[in-house]
Structure 1
Amino acid sequence: MGLFSIFRYYGIDEEEGFTVIQEYSGIQGTLRALMGFTSIGVLLGIVYTTIDIFFDKYSSNRISLVYNIIIQTLLYFITTVIIFTIIMDIFSDIYNINLNTDTGWWRKNKSFWATILYMVMVSFVFSFIKIATEKFGRGVFIKMLFGKYKNPQEEKRIFMFLDLKDSTTIAEQLGHFKYSQFIQDCFYDLNTVVPKHEAEIYQYVGDEAVLSWPYKKGLANNNCVNLFFSFQQRKQQKADYYKEKYGVIPEFKAGLHGGKLMVTEVGVIKKEIAYHGDVINTSARIQAECNNHKVKLLISEDLLKDLSFTTPLTATFLGSVLLKGKQQEVNIHTVQKVF
C-alpha cells in the first residue's frame, strides 16, 4: 500500500495537463498519502492475517475450497471498506481534507476501485510466492530463484522416512476412497507439527512422508527426534476422531539418519529439488527395520552421537544390521519418550 501511494501521487503535480489540489501536491502531499496508505496496509495486514489463521485452523479441512475462497473474499472486502473508512475519517480530521465517507461512499469512488484492482494484482503475486514456497519448502524457493542449485551442491542434512504401519491392511478395510481421506488427515496432522520443529517436507510417496533438516537445525532442541513424538502426541489427541471416522488409529514408524549428500535442481518442464547420496538410502533402510525390531523409531548411531538427550528421551542400542544394498553394518538405536 505504501508503494501504491508512491505510484499514485509522487510527481503527479509535475505532469503536464494535471491539476492537483494543494493537499496532494509536492513532497508533503506524497508523504501524507504515504502515511495514509501505509496505515491502511498495516491494518489490512493484521486483519487479513487473522482471517487466514482462522480459516487455516478451523475451516480449511471442513469446507470446500470454493466456499472457502468465497467467504474469505467477502470478509476481505468488508474489512477493507471498514478500514478505508476509518483511516479516511482520521486523515480528514487531521489535515482538514474533505474526504467523503458517507454510507456507501465506496460504490462510486473510482480511486477506491483503482486501489482494489491494485490490491488484487498484488495478491496474485503473493499467492504465486506462497504456492512456490509451499511446493519447494521454506527457504528453498529463494535459493532456487537465485539459482543456487543449478549446479550440484554438497550439504549436510538429516532425513526421516515416516511410514504408516499396517498400511495394506488398513487400505483393504477402508477402501481406496476412504483410505485416501485417512492419509490426507494423517498428513494434515503431520503438517501442524512440522513448522514447530523446523522440518522441511521433501516429498510424499503414497502413505510415506520424507522429511529433511539442515544438519544443525535438526540437532537443535533434538528437532529431528521430537517431531516424531509431537506427531504421535497429535494423533493421540485425535484418537477419538480417527476411531469414529475410520475405525482405526494411525500408527507410524520412522527411520533417521544424517550426513553429507548432494542436492541439485532437476527437470525442465517440471522442476524440483533432488537429493543424491547414501544418506537417503540408509534412512529408508533403517525405517524398514522397524518391523523387524518391533519399534516405532530407529536412528543410526552416527546421528545419535551428535544429539544430546535429556529426560524424558532415552536411547536403547539394538545391535548392528547389514542394511539392504550396503556392505558395512550400521549400528541402530531405538528412541523412546515418556509422555
Structure 2
Amino acid sequence: MNHNLKQYLQLLWQSVLFWAVVMGLYGIFRYYGMDEEYGITVIEDFQGVQGTIKALQGFMAIGVLVGFLYTTIDFLFDKYTSNRLSLALDIILRTVLYFITTVSVFTWVARTFSEAYDLPLDTGRGWWADDKAFWTAILYIILVSFVFSFIKIATEKFGKGVFLKMLLGKYKKPQEEKRIFMFLDLKDSTTIAENLGHFKYSQFIQDCFYDLNEVVPKYDAEIYQYVGDEAVLSWPYKKGLANNNCVALFFAFQQLKQSKSKYYLDKYGVVPEFKAGLHGGLLMVTEVGVIKKEIAYHGDVINTSARIQAECNKHHVLLLISEKLLKDLQTSKSLTTKFLGSVLLKGKQKEVNIHTIEKV
C-alpha cells in the first residue's frame, strides 16, 4: 500500500473514532432529559431513552463526518504546506478551513433534519451567525480540539505508545527495554558550515531533517533527539529488525537526498551525505526532569552506537553496524556486508566487531 495512503488511513481512523465519541457525548450532554424540562417540547421521536439513542447516533454520525474532513485538511496541510508556512499562518488557515467545514456539516445536517421531520429550521445563508445552539457546539468543538491537539503533540514528542505509558507512570521507575539505536551524523559538517555561514547552514540542516522526517514513519523509527547536525533514531528491537527497518531507513534517506540533489546544489552548492552507526541491545529507559520532562535512555547500547558511528570516517564508509546486531538481521541479496575487524572503541574495555553494509 502507498505510504501516503497508509499514513492517511491511520490518521483517519484515529480522528474519526475521537470525533465520533466526543460528538456522541455532546449529544448526551445537550439533549438527554430535555423532554422532562418544564416548558420545552421535544419531537416525539426524540423523547425518552430511545430518543436519546437516536440523538447519540446522529451526533456520532456528525463526528464521523467532521473527523473525515478535519483529517483530510490536516493531512494536506502537513504534506504540502507546513514546511512553507509560519506556525501562526498555518494555525490561522487551518482554523478558517475548520470553521467553514463545521458550518457546512451543520448546515447539511440541519437541512436533512428539517426535511425528515418537516421542521421550519433556518438554514439560509448566514443562519449560524445568530444561532446560539451552533455557537454552543462550536465552543465544545474548540475545547475538545485542544485536547486532541495536545494528545497528538504529546504522541509526536514522545513517540507512539510512550505518551500513554508516561500517563500511566510506567517510566517513573527505570525500565529495561531492548532497542536498536542509530546515530546519524552529517559528513564534512565543519567544512560545509564554514562555506555556508551559520544562517544558511541552519537552513541546510533544517532541510536535511525535513527529508529525514519523510522516511522515518515508513520504517517505524522514533526520533529520540536532534543534537546539532546529528539525529539519534531508535526502534523497539523487533520493529527495527522487521523488514530490516533499521538498515532500510538509511538507504531510503540516501535515495531521497539524491533525488533532491538539484535542489540542494542550487540552494546550497552541496548535496548532504550522512554517516551512521547501528547497535542494539538491552538498556534502561526512565522519565527524567520536573520542569521539562523527557524520556531518557541509559546504557552501553547508546554509547556503543555513537562510538561505531565515529568509526565511519576512519574506514571511509557511510554505514557501520555491530556484529551482534548484524547477526539478528535477515540480510537480503540486495545488501552486501563486509567485516572490517575488531575495534577497541573509545571508553570500552572489550573490542567490538564491526561490519559495513552497502546496497547492491
Question: What TM-score range do you get, normalising by the shorter chain?
Answer: over 0.9
Deviates most, 101-110 or 210-219:
101-110
Match of 2:170 among 117, 134, 148: 148
Contact 1:193–1:227 (8 Å) recurs in 2: yes
Contact in 2 for aligned 1:36/1:91 (Cα 8 Å):
no
Are 1:262 and 1:276, in contact at CA under 8 Å, matched by a contact in 2? yes
Map of 2:40 onto structure 1 = 19
CA distance in 2, matches of 1:319, 1:291: 15
Structure 1 match to 2:55: 33
Alpha-carbon contact 1:36-1:87 (below 8 Å) kept: no
Percent pairwise identity: 74
Structure-to-structure mapping, 1:199-218, within 5 angstroms? 199-218=221-240
Question: Could you tell me which residue of structure 1 aligns to residue 298 of structure 2?
Answer: 276
Q: 1:70 aligns with which of 83, 88, 92?
A: 92
Cα deviation per residue 1:271-296 (whole Å; 9 max; x = unaligned)? 11111110000000000000000000
Are the counterparts in 2 of residues 12 and 18 from structure 1 also a CA contact under 8 Å? no
For 1:32 and 1:105, locate their aligned partners in 2 and report how far apart those are by CA, in whole Å: 25
Which shifted more, 216-225 or 21-30?
21-30
- SS of 1:149's partner is helix
Write the distance in 2 (CA, Å) between the matches of 1:188 and 1:174.
19
Q: Mean Cα displacement is larger for which, 212-221 or 133-142?
A: 133-142
Gaps of at least 5 residues in structure 2 are: 1-22
Higher mean alpha-carbon deviation, 96-105 vs 310-319, is at 96-105
Shift of 1:18: 5.0
Q: Deviations over 1:247-271 (max 9, x none)?
A: 1111000000000011111111111
Specify which of 214, 233, 237 is matched with residue 259 of structure 2.
237
Change over 3 Å in CA distance of 1:18–1:165 after alignment to 2:
farther
For 2:231 and 2:35, locate their aligned partners in 1 and report how far apart those are by CA, in whole Å: 58
State how far apart, in whole Å, the 1-side matches of 2:357 and 2:47 are: 68
Structure 2 counterpart of 1:125:
147
- One of 180, 198, 222 as aligned partner of 1:158: 180
Alignment match, 1:327:
349
Distance across 2 between alignment mates of 1:18 and 1:177: 68
Deviations 1:140-160 (A, max 9, x none): 111111011111111111000
Q: Which moved more, 1:55-64 or 1:87-96?
A: 87-96
Which letter does structure 1 place at the counterpart of 2:63? G
SS in structure 1 of the partner of residue 353 of structure 2 = strand
Q: Distance in 2 between matches of 1:39 and 1:97?
A: 20
Q: Which residue of 2 aligns with 1:221?
A: 243
1:6-43 deviation digits (Å, cap 9, x = unpaired): 1101122334x452323443223322322222222111
Q: Shift of the alpha carbon at 1:93?
A: 2.5
Letter in structure 2 aligned against 1:123: S
Instruction: Go from structure 1 to structure 2 and tell me whether the alpha carbon gap of 1:186 and 1:211 turns closer, same or farther (over 3 Å shift).
Output: same
Q: Which amino acid aligns with 2:233?
A: L
Q: Distance in 2 between matches of 1:98 and 1:26?
A: 23
Distance in structure 2 (CA, Å) of the matches to 1:93 and 1:35: 18
SS in 2 for 1:228: helix
Q: Which 10-residue stretch deviates more, 71-80 or 32-41?
A: 32-41
Distance 1:30 1:121 in 2: 23
**CA distance in 1: counterparts of 2:306 and 2:321, whole angstroms:** 11
Report how far residue 200 of structure 1 moved.
0.8
**AA of the residue aligned to 1:226:** A
2:81 pairs, out of 23, 47, 59, with: 59
SS of residue matched to 2:83: coil
User: Which residue is equivalent to 2:10?
Assistant: none
List aligned pairs for 1:106-125, cutoff 5 A.
106-125=128-147
Secondary structure of 1:194's partner? Answer: helix
Q: What SS does structure 1 have at the residue aligned with 2:170?
A: coil
Once residues 39 and 236 of structure 2 are traced to their aligned partners in structure 1, the CA distance between those partners, rounded to angstroms, is 56
* Residue segments in structure 1 that go unaligned for 5+ positions in a row: none
Aligned AA (2:114): S
Cα distance per residue 1:173-208 (max 9 Å; x no partner): 111111111111111111111111111111111110
Conservation of the 8 A alpha-carbon contact between 2:34 and 2:42 = no
The within-5 A match list for 1:92-111 is: 92-111=114-133
Distance between the aligned counterparts of 2:213 and 2:41, measured in 1?
52
Q: Give the Cα–Cα distance (whole angstroms) in 1 for the partners of residues 339 and 317 of structure 2.
A: 12
For the pair 1:185 / 2:207, whether they are aligned, the reply is: yes
Residues in 2 aligned to 1:34 and 1:239: alpha-carbon distance in whole angstroms: 54
| Aligned Cα root-mean-square deviation (Å) | 1.3
User: TM-score by structure 2 length?
Assistant: 0.91
Asked if the contact 1:39/1:87 (under 8 Å) is kept, the reply is no
Amino acid paired to 1:140: V
Q: TM-score under structure 1 normalisation?
A: 0.96
In structure 1, what residue type is equivalent to 2:196? L
